[in-house]
Every structure is written in C-alpha cells, then in structure tokens.
Structure 1
Amino acid sequence: MTTTVPRPPAKKSVRDRFLRLAETVTTPLLPEDYLDLVAPLRAGAALRGRIVAVDLETRDAATLTIQPGRAWRGHTPGQYVRLGVDVDGVRQWRAYSVTSPPGRPDGRISVTVKAIPDGRVSNHLVRRTRPGTIVQLDQAQGDFVLPDPTPARILYLTAGSGITPVMGMLRAGVPTRADVLVVHSAPTPADVVFGTELRALAERGEIRLVERHTDRHGLLGVDDLAGLVPDHLERQTWACGPVGMLDAVQEHWAAAGVADRLHTERFRPTVISPGEGGTVTFTRAGLTVAADGATPILDAGEAAGALMPSGCRMGICYGCVLPLRQGAVRDLRNGEITTAVPGDGVLIQTCVSAAAGTCDIDL
C-alpha cells in the first residue's frame, strides 16, 4: 500500500510575516501610507514630485522646478504633465507643459504656471507654493511635438501662457538649418513669459521673434498674419493660446485647405464643486445611487446591486480600485478630496472613498 504524506505548508518568509504584522498594526492605513511620509519619491511608490524651487517669470507667472520620483519616464519637448495639487484640502488636477529640456543631469523637470483670475490652482502654485511641497504626477503625454525630420520652415504662434510648450521645444535645441519664426502675443513687454530668453535667442539669430503687445496693438488676429508672416500658410505651424485664438486659426487654415499643417494644443478648464455626499453613477452598469458622505462607494454600489470588485474583506488590498471618470470623492481615512474630469484617468479605492458630490465610476 502506498501512503501519501501531505507536504507541510510552505513557510512564510520573514518579510511576509513582517508585512502582515505591519498591516495589522497600521490598519486601516497600510505600511506604504507611512512610507509615503518619509520617502514619497521612492521606487515603487505612486508617481510624485518634490518642488525644489519656485522662480517668478513675470508678475503673474512662475516656474516650478520639480524633482520627480524614480518612476518618471521622461518627456518629449512640447508634452505636458498633469499635477495633482492639494489646495485647501481638495486635490485638484491640472495639466502644464514641461518647459525644461529632456535629460537634465539632475533629473529635474520644470513647469511654468500663469496665474489666471479666479484660478484656484494656478494662483496657489504661483503665489503660495513653497519649495519642499510634494505634488502628484502623471507621466508626460501629448502629441504637440516636432516630427522627425524637422520641417524646414516652422511657425510658432502663441499667446499668453501658450508659449510654455514652445519654450520646452526651443530649450531642447533649435533645429539647425531650419527657419524658425515665433509670433507671440502678450499684454505688455513685461508680461512676455520667458521674454528675456526669447529675445536672446533672436539676437543670436537662432529664431526670428515677432512680439505683439495687446495694450498697443490690440488682440492678435488671423488677419494680421498676412502682414506679419506672408508665408504662414506654407509653414508647419504649432499654435497654443486662448480658445478664441485657436478656433480662429483652425478655421483660417482649414479654409485655405492646409489644415494638416496646423498643430494646436488646448487645455480644458476643470470646474468641480465638492460637497457632502451625492449621486454616484456606475456608467457601464447603468446604475445611479444616492450616497451620503460617510458611506464607502463600495458599500453603496453593492447595496444597489452593482457587482463591485473587492478583496478588502479577505485582506487583499487594492482589489476594489476603479477609475473615477468624473466628479469628486472624499477619502474617509484623512478627509482628502480627489477630483477628476473625463480623461484624467484617476483611480480610487472604493472601500475608503465616499461621494463628495456627483461622481461617475467606470464600472
């Protein structure tokens, strides 16, 4: 007779036992939550950055130099990065162009922010942010970049803070043997972000620069381009600025039948008004439920019949993570509010997040 002896259960490693003990002691937080306090930029952590310098460019614009975490994958000149910024207890996400060249020896990046009237986040970053502040980061994205090979004739058409992605391209190196023309509009010479640097590039003959100051010349319109840049429709053009300007140039290029020569960059406004509780819509499930500000979205969804992913009750963390497509949620552990608009790709833990207003969950 053959006797089968069952194998003894595999011994857990010292590390596994330590982590299990740590999770027990720190519940409802995780050990990683405490590590975030002392090493927020460490390998394996969510991507963050530490602001190491804030330098004024104009009376209402500042450049933030950021040391990104180890997960940062770099950027292509002209791309933007989304920053998650905590303003008065509410996490807001905004997109800003990377204005530093890629591959800096110190690994740092910079974004340049222009404070706009009633802009909650932009004014906070320009006027209240101090070195040492930790911000959330996404990887760089966007296709407002130069192709390879570089066109022989380039027009950069910008206004206000629209110069920021273009400055990222210029700092990466002006293409040799390319005719690069920058047409930029700002209220006054003093309001031209990077004005000194742009004028120095023009003096060295690396670019041609046309400045239009609205206090003297009025708003820059497409009708002005024929006189300023007679061959503008023949150039590959990168345009970034106010919505009205971009709408006008897109119509102008399309009417001339050369829309393929125009590349534009737009940043949408984000307006989210957090509250206490609200309606939660599970978009793919077709369910909408009312939830108070103290009930986890996981519980609210299950009570409404939604098939919610979760491993929380078995001690498996992050099994309940879902995308927040739009709206605001409050973290029940610390009161932090996270907001999102379509396309942000924000992930939340439904077991510790409650509705802070109307929100849509991708389920």
Structure 2
Amino acid sequence: MTTTVPRRPQKASFRTRLLRLAETVTTPLLPEDYLDLVAPLRSGTALRGRIVAVRPETRDAATVVIQPGRGWRGHLPGQYVRLGVDVDGVRQWRAYSLTSVPDSQDGRITVTVKAIPDGKVSNHLVRRVRPGTIVQLDQAQGDFTLPAAAPERVLFLTAGSGITPVMAMLRAGLADRADVVLVHSAPTRDAVIFGAELRALAESGGLRLVERHTDVEGVLGVDELAALVPDHLDREAWACGPVGMLDAVEGYWSANGLADRLHTERFRPTVISPGEGGTVTFTGSGVTVEADGATPILDAGENAGVLMPSGCRMGICFGCVVPLRQGAVRDLRNGDLTTAVPGDGVLVQTCVSAAAGTCDIEL
C-alpha cells in the first residue's frame, strides 16, 4: 500500500511576504508605483528620461537635455527619438531628432525643439517644461544617418528645425572625415538654430556654410544650387526641412537621375483636417465604421462588435484609454481636439471622445 503524505506548504520568502504587506498598505497603488516616484529611471521598467536642463537656442527654439534611464541603448547621429510628454494631463508622443553626440561622457542626450504655432507639445517643451520633469522614451530610430565610411564630399540641405539631425552629424566629427557644404534656410540670421556654432565651425574651416535668410532673400529654389554649390550633384546629399522643400529637392535629384544619392527625412508628412464625425478604423480588429460627431468612439466600436475596454463610461476612471494612431478626435466634454500622425500613439479616452474626421484606433 502506498501512503501519500500531504506536501507541507512552503513558507513564502521574506521578500515575498514584505511585498505582500506593502501591497496591502499601498492599495489601490502597488509598490512599483511608489518606486516610480523615487527611482523612475531604474532598469526593468518602461524607458523614461529626466529633463536636466532647457537651453534657449533662438526666440522659439530650445535644446532639452535629458538623462535617459538605464535601458537606453544609444543612438547614431541623425536618428530621432519619440518622447511621451504629459501636457495638461494628457500624454502626447512626438518625434524629435537627437542633437547630441552618441555615448557622451555624462550619458545625457539632447533634442532641440522649435515651437510651432498651436503646437501643443513643442510650445510646452520650449516655454513651460522645467528641469526634473520625467518624460517617456522610445529607443532611437531612423535611417537618416551616414554610412560607416563617410563619403568624401557631402552636401546638407536644411531649413528651419531640419538642421537638428545634421547638427548631430557635425558634432560627431564629420568635418574631420569629409568635405562638407551646408546650405541652410531660416527667416532671419537670428532665427538660425545653432547659428553661432555653425558659423564658428565654418570660420575654422570645418565646413562651407551657405545661409539663406528667407525674410530678406526669399525662399531658396533648387535651380539656384548650381550657382551656390557648383559640384552639388557630385556630392552625396542629405536634406531635411519643410515638405515643399523636400518635394522640390527629390524631384530635382530624380530628374537628374541621381535619386540614389539623396537622403531625406520627413517627420510629419500627414496633414490632419479635423471635422465633425468621420470614419473610424479599429486597426487590430479590422473593423471600420462611420460615426457622427456626437457618438463616443466607445459606443461606435461596441455597436460594430469590437471588444472595447471600458469602465465608468464618464471619463473618470480612464479604463477606456487606447492609442489614437492617426487622425483626429474631439473631447465631448469641452470640444478640445486631439490629433495624431503615424508614430504619435496619443492616448485618448474613447468614452468621451468622438471622431473629428478619419481616425485609426489601436484595438
């Protein structure tokens, strides 16, 4: 006969018991929530960064210095990072070029932001954010970078904040390895981001700098490049700036059969035109519905058979928050618009948000 002896329950470890006790006294928060307050940059958590300083560059641009958390894997000059910034209680995601050299001694990274009219995040970062603020981070992305072996001759065509990814390349010592020409457009001399640094680099022989001040000289046309840089088509070229400029540059290089020698960076190619109501696509479910401007997205999704997370249905508990991948929604409580282009991943409350044009919801 076989006798079965009941297994004696193992005692929980001291650490496990301590955590259980902590959970009982911190409910409804968990101990991890308090750790986020005292050590937000620790390893093993979502990647974050702490803003260390904000340095003005021009009247409407500033460099934001960030100490990233331990999970940061570094970047290449020319890449960008997506920041998640809490503005008026709503987390917004935006992509900004990294302007710091890789692997700096202090481990810090920088992005340089130009405030744009009605830009919720850019104006917040340039004018309102304070040192000590915690931001969310993604890992560096983008292929607007130099090859491992830099070309002998390089041409940069930039305008406005399009100088930011190029500045990282210059700071990383490109001028020591290549013959560099930079053609940069800005409304005025004072509006040139990194103007003093660029001019000093040019004076030292590090590059040839051509400035175009558009308020006085007008917008630079691609047909003017031959006079400004006679060998421009013989150089490997990188261009970053407004959509109209990039369209013209791409057309010009293609017409000359040299499209493979041109590299461009486009951050926000999509234009959002808010309206009243529109087509809502639930990307994970593959469901598309037409919704009017008064119907919460939560209701529109449920009526179409989409499994929607929800809670109080009053905009209080945040149980219905999901990413808006692109498009526009309107807050039914106050009429505020929230817009996103691909890559933003802005979070919205579906129970109090209605379609304000075509929008894609990640569900």
Q: TM-score range, shorter-chain basis?
A: 0.7 to 0.9
What is the correspondence of 1:112-127 to structure 2 with a 5 Å cutoff? 112-127=112-127
Is the partner of 1:165 in helix, strand or coil? helix
Q: Which residue of 1 aligns with 2:261?
A: 261
Q: Which residue of 2 aligns with 1:69?
A: 69
Q: Summarize deviations over 1:315-349 as a string: whole Å, max 9, x none.
A: xxxxx9986534699xxxxxxx9985433467x8x
Q: Which residue of 2 aligns with 1:233?
A: 233
Shift of 1:18: 3.0
**Match of 2:83, as an amino acid?**
L
State the alpha-carbon separation in 2 of the partners of residues 21 and 302 from structure 1.
39
State the alpha-carbon separation in 1 of the partners of residues 286 and 199 from structure 2.
56
Q: Which residue of 1 aligns with 2:55?
A: 55
Is the partner of 2:145 in helix, strand or coil? coil
Q: Which residue of 2 aligns with 1:137?
A: 137
What is the correspondence of 1:325-340 to structure 2 with a 5 Å cutoff? 325-326=325-326
Percent identical pairs in the alignment equals 75
**Match of 1:113, as an amino acid?**
V
Q: Which residue of 1 aligns with 2:106?
A: 106
State the alpha-carbon separation in 2 of the partners of residues 24 and 301 from structure 1.
36
State the alpha-carbon separation in 1 of the partners of residues 300 and 255 from structure 2.
52
Shift of 1:282: 3.6
Contact kept, 8 Å, 2:272 with 2:327, in 1: the verdict is: no
State the alpha-carbon separation in 2 of the partners of residues 254 and 246 from structure 1.
12
Q: Which runs of 5+ in 1 are unaligned?
A: 310-319, 330-336
What is the correspondence of 1:287-302 to structure 2 with a 5 Å cutoff? 287=287
Shift of 1:174: 2.1
Decide whether aligned partners of structure 1 residues 117 and 327 sit closer, same or farther in structure 2, where only a CA change above 3 A counts: closer
Shift of 1:301: 7.4
Decide whether aligned partners of structure 1 residues 270 and 33 sit closer, same or farther in structure 2, where only a CA change above 3 A counts: farther
Q: Summarize deviations over 1:208-260 as a string: whole Å, max 9, x none.
A: 11111112221011011111111212211010011100000001111111100
Contact kept, 8 Å, 1:280 with 1:355, in 2: the verdict is: no
State the alpha-carbon separation in 1 of the partners of residues 15 and 328 from structure 2.
37
Q: Which residue of 1 aligns with 2:95?
A: 95
Contact kept, 8 Å, 1:154 with 1:236, in 2: the verdict is: yes
**Match of 1:169, as an amino acid?**
M
Say if 2:149 is the partner of 1:161. no
Q: Which residue of 1 aligns with 2:191?
A: 191
Q: Which residue of 2 aligns with 1:247?
A: 247
Aligned CA RMSD, in angstroms, stands at 3.7
Q: Summarize deviations over 1:1-54 as a string: whole Å, max 9, x none.
A: 222334334433232333334334434433222222222112222111111111
Q: Which residue of 2 aligns with 1:35?
A: 35
State the alpha-carbon separation in 1 of the partners of residues 300 and 45 from structure 2.
29
Contact kept, 8 Å, 1:78 with 1:97, in 2: the verdict is: yes
Q: Summarize deviations over 1:152-187 as a string: whole Å, max 9, x none.
A: 110011011100000011011124342111111111
Is the partner of 1:191 in helix, strand or coil? coil
Contact kept, 8 Å, 1:325 with 1:345, in 2: the verdict is: yes
State the alpha-carbon separation in 1 of the partners of residues 19 and 148 from structure 2.
49
State the alpha-carbon separation in 2 of the partners of residues 26 and 75 from structure 1.
38
Q: Which runs of 5+ in 2 are unaligned?
A: 310-319, 330-336
Aligned residue pair count? 342
**Match of 2:99, as an amino acid?**
T
Decide whether aligned partners of structure 1 residues 302 and 212 sit closer, same or farther in structure 2, where only a CA change above 3 A counts: closer
**Match of 2:67, as an amino acid?**
Q
State the alpha-carbon separation in 1 of the partners of residues 210 and 31 from structure 2.
55
Decide whether aligned partners of structure 1 residues 48 and 279 sit closer, same or farther in structure 2, where only a CA change above 3 A counts: farther
**Match of 2:259, as an amino acid?**
A
Is the partner of 2:190 in helix, strand or coil? helix
Shift of 1:55: 1.0
Contact kept, 8 Å, 1:328 with 1:355, in 2: the verdict is: no
TM-score by length of 2: 0.81
TM-score by length of 1: 0.81
State the alpha-carbon separation in 2 of the partners of residues 256 and 29 from structure 1.
62
Contact kept, 8 Å, 2:297 with 2:353, in 1: the verdict is: no
